[in-house]
Amino acid sequence: MGMKKIYVWMLIFGLSLAGCAGFEPEPAWQELPAKTSTEDSKTEERESDASVTVDTTEAIETTEMDESEDANTETETSSENAGETESEEEVLEDEVESQIAIATDLHYLAKELADNGAAFQSMLNKSDGMLTQYCWEITMAFLEQMEKEQPDVLILSGDLTKNGEKKSHEELAKRLRKLEQAGVPVLVIPGNHDINSPHASGYRGDSTYSAQQISAKQFEEIYRDFGYKEARARDPYSLSYVYELNDYTWILMLDSCQYKPENKVGGMIQEGTYEWLEEVLEEAWEEGVRLLPVTHHNLLEQTNASEEFIRNCTIEHDERLIRMWEDNQINLHLSGHLHIQHYEKTENEDAPLYEVVTSSLSIYPCHYGILKIMNYGDMYYHTKCVPVSAWAKEHGKNDYNLLHFEEYAKEFLYDISYWSVYNSLQAHGLTVEQSERMAKLYARLNPNFYAGTIPDEKEEIVTDPAYQMWRDSEYFSEAATTIQTMIEEEDQNYNMLYIPY
């Protein structure tokens, strides 16, 4: 494929995040602590910062691209250029062998387990911005979008439910069954929230109560129609399996969770599963097919934003699995778990192994991924946002938040980020003014971090007095490390990736 064609493809799909970039603040749905006087200007300040949302047409990963080509083409193009783009897109679509949709961390909660009471709202306020109050609408909008797009397969890479409630699993499975009936095969693996979870809960008024959880065997029974029944090969030691997408590609759904005898957050691959993997790899090599591995937990260390991201997100002894993939010329691994949009690659420049982490479907900007495998072997990954507002309008919903969902979701994450950091800073004895200014800067950056984008006006940020306050607070605040990582490391758009064969 010519470099012009690669660039045009990246331009086309770089627009996929544009639907999420708009930001007109509205009050968050849940009740939050009353704002102080100087906080009243927060909304006006964010309106003036609307340009902070990334120009998603920026090409972030190219191979041998002519350096004279500008990867930051404006989203508003002339009609002449738009026609050229459509023509190139048609040519590219003719070269697509397979199209795979990837979603992760749905954290679906059965409707009967939730209400709008105090306990439910308290849970929302303590979350990381998860939009559980609209998880049903997000899921329905997403599945209807999948029905329209008709990918060759939909991969759900774990944390299907809020906390492994049996009713949540059963309700979600019913919804997935309708999608399969519409012609889209669905593949699932568990996440750390799905099996033997001690946190399975329901919410009623002021009370949080324990809900029935499920075992690994029950997980397989509930989701038997979503990969397990159609599996080409099954691992006797875990819920891993191989799905034959076509004559050229097999999808390896690899269970990285620890749920025996009890549930753990971190991930690892069992010794018996490694032995099974050797058999799978040998068979794939003999058949001459590409193996595409998927786990819930991360294979590579993605970011230094938090020690927790490494301690409980990366698969234990990941170097062994990395070596297996590299020895068998596997160059792409898919995962979730982090709730942020990201990717990383190994240091082998001649044949790097890439890992793409798709962000949570239930947190702004409600991303899912599209992986296109071309008939000459190259792969292209890009993200799209669930069109919740369009879905709400189409279905005659009158909820203001649903009809303006992209703005609402970002505002919700902003508020959660602001108050979590503000309260922490207050607890460490900072003044109200210091806490407010620092919390604003953090909350301004955090939605971009989740979305896999970061503001490009770094000079403005690092000269903000609040940034220096954060640097001075490193000795007591982990959030300061996150801020530093956002500025120093997260300097590109993680929503697009080209992987050469």
**pLDDT at residue 310, rounded to an integer:** 64
**pLDDT at residue 466, rounded to an integer:** 92
The type of residue at 56 is T
pLDDT higher at 100 or 37: 100
- Taking the C-alpha atoms of residue 54 and residue 33, their distance in angstroms, rounded to an integer, is 30
Convert the pLDDT of each residue in 378-396 to its tens digit: 999 999 999 999 999 999 9
pLDDT higher at 348 or 320: 320
Mean pLDDT on 218-239: 97
Mean pLDDT on 413-421: 94
pLDDT higher at 331 or 26: 331
pLDDT higher at 27 or 476: 476
**pLDDT at residue 429, rounded to an integer:** 87
CA nearest to 113, candidates 44, 5, 210: 210
Take residue 23 and report the two structure tokens written for it. 């930001």
Give the chain's radius of gyration (CA, Å). Answer: 22
Q: What is the mean pLDDT of the chain?
A: 83
Take residue 429 and report the two structure tokens written for it. 């004895």
Convert the pLDDT of each residue in 197-209 to its tens digit: 999 999 999 999 9
Is residue 75 very low, low, confident or very high in pLDDT (cuts 50, 70, 90)?
A: very low
Take residue 41 and report the two structure tokens written for it. 């200007």
Query: Which residues does 286 contact at the CB level (< 8 Å), separation at least 6?
Result: none
pTM over 0.85: no
Mean pLDDT on 6-20: 40
- Taking the C-alpha atoms of residue 487 and residue 449, their distance in angstroms, rounded to an integer, is 10
Burial of 483 (0-12, 13-18, 19+ CB in 10 A): buried
Mean pLDDT on 433-448: 92
Instruction: Determine how β-strand 379-385 pairs with β-strand 496-499.
Output: antiparallel
Least confident of 26-30, 247-251, 294-298, 328-332: 26-30
pLDDT beyond 50 at 48: no
Is residue 74 very low, low, confident or very high in pLDDT (cuts 50, 70, 90)?
A: very low
**pLDDT at residue 456, rounded to an integer:** 63
Is residue 271 very low, low, confident or very high in pLDDT (cuts 50, 70, 90)?
A: very high
Cβ-count burial 441-458 (b if 16+ within 10 Å, e if not)? bbbbbbbbbbbbbbbbee
Q: Is 234 helix (H, G, I), strand (E, B) or coil?
A: strand
Counting residues of the chain whose pLDDT is more than 90, the rounded percentage is: 65
CA nearest to 345, candidates 60, 56, 2: 60
Point out which residues pair with 342 in neighbouring strands. 357
- Helical residues (DSSP H) of 117-213, grouped into ranges: 118-125, 135-149, 166-181
Is residue 216 very low, low, confident or very high in pLDDT (cuts 50, 70, 90)?
A: very high
pLDDT higher at 489 or 259: 259
Asked, as a colleague might, if the bond just before 185 is cis with ω within 30 of 0, I would say: no
Between the two ends of the chain, the Cα-to-Cα distance in Å is 12
Is residue 261 very low, low, confident or very high in pLDDT (cuts 50, 70, 90)?
A: confident
Query: Which residues does 89 contact at the CB level (< 8 Å), separation at least 6?
Result: 8, 9, 12
Take residue 182 and report the two structure tokens written for it. 């519409």
**C-beta of residue 190 within 8 angstroms of C-beta of residue 255:** yes
Is residue 478 very low, low, confident or very high in pLDDT (cuts 50, 70, 90)?
A: confident
- Helical residues (DSSP H) of 328-404, grouped into ranges: 388-394, 400-403
- Taking the C-alpha atoms of residue 419 and residue 438, their distance in angstroms, rounded to an integer, is 11
**pLDDT at residue 185, rounded to an integer:** 98
Least confident of 22-26, 118-122, 454-458: 22-26
- Taking the C-alpha atoms of residue 300 and residue 284, their distance in angstroms, rounded to an integer, is 23
pLDDT beyond 50 at 4: no
Is residue 364 very low, low, confident or very high in pLDDT (cuts 50, 70, 90)?
A: very high
pLDDT beyond 60 at 286: yes
Instruction: Determine how β-strand 153-157 pairs with β-strand 233-234.
Output: unpaired
Instruction: Determine how β-strand 354-357 pairs with β-strand 342-345.
Output: antiparallel
Is residue 139 very low, low, confident or very high in pLDDT (cuts 50, 70, 90)?
A: very high
pLDDT beyond 50 at 439: yes
**pLDDT at residue 35, rounded to an integer:** 37
* Tokens 């170097």 sit on residue: 319
